Structure 1
Amino acid sequence: MSDLGPVLVVTNLDDPTTDLVIDELHGRGVPVVRFDSGDFPTTLSIAASITPDGVQGTLSTPTRSADLSHVRSLYYRRPSGFAFPHLDEQTTRFAVTQARYGLGGVLASLPGCLYVNHPHRIGDAEFKPSGLAAAVDSGFLVPPTLVTSDPDSARTFVKRHGPVIYKPLSAPLYRIDGVSCTVKVQEVTADELDESVAGTVHLFQRRIDKTADVRVTVIGDQVFCVRIGSDLLDWRTDYSRLTYSVVPPPPGITEALQAYLDHFRLVFGAFDFCVDQEGRWWFLECNSSGQWAWMEPETGLPMVAAMADLLERKSA
């Protein structure tokens, strides 16, 4: 398989999940070129030509070089953004735009490359309303959901479907007294909703009376289902209170997972479900670049090996 060239890994410096996968690939003798978009242009350079045979050229880091016409696969994780601190504000905006559409455009156009996942497809899938609509079309159970900036509509929805939770449509980090924070999922009542709802768009969803959560990680054609036990509304707020067990998917779930991934043209997805009192799985979301490796030592599931198989293109 060495003639397929290296695996490109695009992520930031602090990414333990990627570290595990790269170690596995190194153990198999698969070449890896890791870089972060934030390294450009200081320690990352590119020279690419558009030819009748596709993109050709090289991508270089201080220790590695990749032939862009022979990239085996690209693992797109969590790169940091482009930064040009030596430039003034206006010139920085120009430089960032050129880097995004230049370097980003080349990386999105590699001939014969397997993307896990393609950055454009990740972008498509990150729109939560699109994901919920695709989940319905794929056959999942989806809780009643309202996306609105209208206070009256929000209050009516809460009264009709309560208990209801509020979820951010995206979760950019912000800081309070120097501490990184994010907006939590939380239950809301109608009398808590005032005219400030009109300030932006919000997502409200009926709260499922759950017995557990399930994280389903799909890596290529392998499906790993892990039941997460806790008494938390959002299990991600306190990992120390979680318990884990491997469970089989109910009938129809595997087919719906594949339909969802096919819709967005993804080969990896980290799906979150909650399980109600009748044992039904309700779709909450799918993160197309989500975390998963922390569950392997808790369950013994061979997830790192599965990701390495996919990136190596072992079945190709």
Structure 2
Amino acid sequence: MPDPRIVVATGPLDVTADFVIEELNRRGVPLARIDTGAFPDSVNLSATFGPDGWRGKLSGGSRTVRLEDLRAVYWRRPSNFPADSVEAGPSREFASREARSGMTGVLYALPGVAWVNHPLAITACTKPAQLAAFVRAGLTVPATWIGNVPQEHGDFCKAGPAVSKTLGPINYDGPEGYQVLYAARVPPEHYGHPRARATANCLQREIEHKVAEYRVAVVADRLFISEASVLGPYLDIRAVGQDGVTYTPGTLPDAVQAGIRTVTRKFGLVFAAWDLVRDDTGKIWALELNPGGQWAFTPDRDDICRAIADYLEEAANT
């Protein structure tokens, strides 16, 4: 079999990546699944720069890819450069920082590589930037406040029902153990609380009377739309659980689809998972897009998988 020209960068437990890997394997497309963020603990990198650019090898587990052969990276959920082989403390922090700079620096410098998605594009896709891009593309968004001023925090909450949301991942590993921080209504006793000064708070006006939610997967301008129906009242669909949500193939107005494509391209993303809501007036609200969102639970799972595999295979054959 030819040497791999695709790297699937993710950790050991990633069901979503598994579907794409199985599809590529079925097609006979060689690939290397390597947890790039596990460098240097269990992943090796040897790169030399010369007149022909960067050459060398990236290897993890039983798989190795030559840097000069690499044509596509499916960047899913690699580890975060823990550098566990170094004693905890400043030395480990330094080793982790250097490992990140070395691995990403070399990969980013390779010419002609197609990314799904490029990490720098993912980093740029912040919630404030998303909301501004949504509006410019003609999409409707809830009123939003971000800040740490208690008085203004309280003013926003008093003006109408408000929910608090995270600005980044909803997973949190703190003193009380692993938690998932779903969207939550702000109780009156927390309006303008002094603790608002402790960090950046994100508040949004609650969308009331929701009729349906949409999960839209975008793959290179192709849209795969699923409509979600929920039994009973809810605030955050992620907290409902799969047994309480029914997904069926859905549709969205052409103007909304055009806005989704425009924003996805604007951020330089090949893949994006969008969340939208329709209220009982028919208005459709754009909530957020996730460059690494899940899609394996949707009715279009197989089509999405094939579309991602198509993109990677075409890049590998270039």
Normalised TM-score (structure 1): 0.91
What is the match of residue 45 of structure 1? 44
Matched, 1:304 2:302: no
CA distance in 1, matches of 2:95, 2:83: 7
- 1:181 matched residue in structure 2: 179
Question: Which residue pairs with 1:206 in the alignment?
Answer: 205
Q: Secondary structure in 1 aligned to 2:269?
A: coil
| Distance in structure 1 (CA, Å) of the matches to 2:37 and 2:116 | 20
Q: Which amino acid aligns with 1:211?
A: V
- Secondary structure of 1:224's counterpart equals strand
CA distance in 1 between counterparts of 2:49 and 2:171 reads 35
Unaligned runs of 5+ in 1: none
The match for 2:165 is 167
Query: Could you tell me which amino acid in structure 2 is paired with residue 183 of structure 1?
Result: L
Q: Does structure 1 retain, via aligned residues, the 8 Å contact 2:34–2:59?
A: no
The 5 Å alignment of 1:264-283 reads 264-283=267-286
Q: Could you say which residue in structure 2 is the equivalent of 1:242?
A: 245
Q: Which residue of structure 1 lines up, in the alignment, with residue 235 of structure 2?
A: 233
1:31-65 deviations in Å (ceiling 9; x for gaps): 11011134322432112233454432221234222
**2:224 counterpart of 1:216:** no
Identify the residue that residue 293 of structure 1 maps to in structure 2: 296
Opposite residue 307 of structure 2, the aligned amino acid is: A
Residue 252 of structure 1: SS of its match in structure 2?
A: helix
SS in 2 for 1:248: coil
Q: 1:120 maps to what in 2?
A: 120
Identity %: 35
Aligned Cα root-mean-square deviation (Å): 2.1
Given that residues 38 and 80 in structure 1 are in contact (C-alpha distance below 8 angstroms), is that contact kept between their aligned partners in structure 2?
A: yes
Output the CA distance in 1 between the equivalents of 2:15 and 2:96.
27
Q: Distance in 1 between matches of 2:111 and 2:301?
A: 36
1:107 aligned onto 2:110: no
Deviations 1:214-252 (CA, angstroms, capped at 9, x unpaired): 111101121011111113211111221001111122121
Contact 2:37–2:100 (8 Å) recurs in 1: no
2:137 paired residue number: 138
Q: CA deviation at 1:84?
A: 2.6
Identify the residue that residue 35 of structure 2 maps to in structure 1.
36
Q: Distance in 2 between matches of 1:295 and 1:288?
A: 16
Give the aligned partner of residue 98 of structure 2. Answer: 98
1:252 counterpart residue number: 255
Are 2:41 and 2:83, in contact at CA under 8 Å, matched by a contact in 1? Answer: no
Q: Deviations over 1:182-223 (max 9, x none)?
A: 222111244432222122111111111211111111011210
Question: Aligned-pair distance for 1:159?
Answer: 2.4
Amino acid of the structure 2 residue aligned with 1:220 = A
Q: SS in structure 2 opposite 1:91? A: helix
Q: Secondary structure at the match of 2:130?
A: helix
1:23 paired to 2:22: yes
Length, aligned pairs only: 310
SS at match of 1:311: helix
Between stretches 207-216 and 167-176, larger displacement belongs to: 167-176
Structure 1 distance, partners of 2:96, 2:250, is 45
Q: Is the 8 Å Cα contact of residues 11 and 35 (structure 2) preserved in structure 1?
A: yes
Tell me if structure 2 keeps the 8 A contact 1:148–1:202: yes
Question: Residues of 2 paired with 1:62 and 1:14: CA distance?
Answer: 14
SS of residue paired to 1:254: helix
State the secondary structure of the residue aligned to 2:224. strand
Q: What code does the residue aligned with 2:211 have? A: T
Are the aligned partners of 1:70 and 1:111 in contact in 2 as well (CA < 8 Å)? no
Whether the aligned pair in 2 keeps the contact of 1:163 and 1:189 (CA below 8 Å) is no
TM-score of the pair, normalised by structure 2? 0.90
Return closer, same or farther for 1:300/1:44 CA change in 2, 3 Å cut-off.
closer
Q: Aligned with 2:109: secondary structure?
A: coil
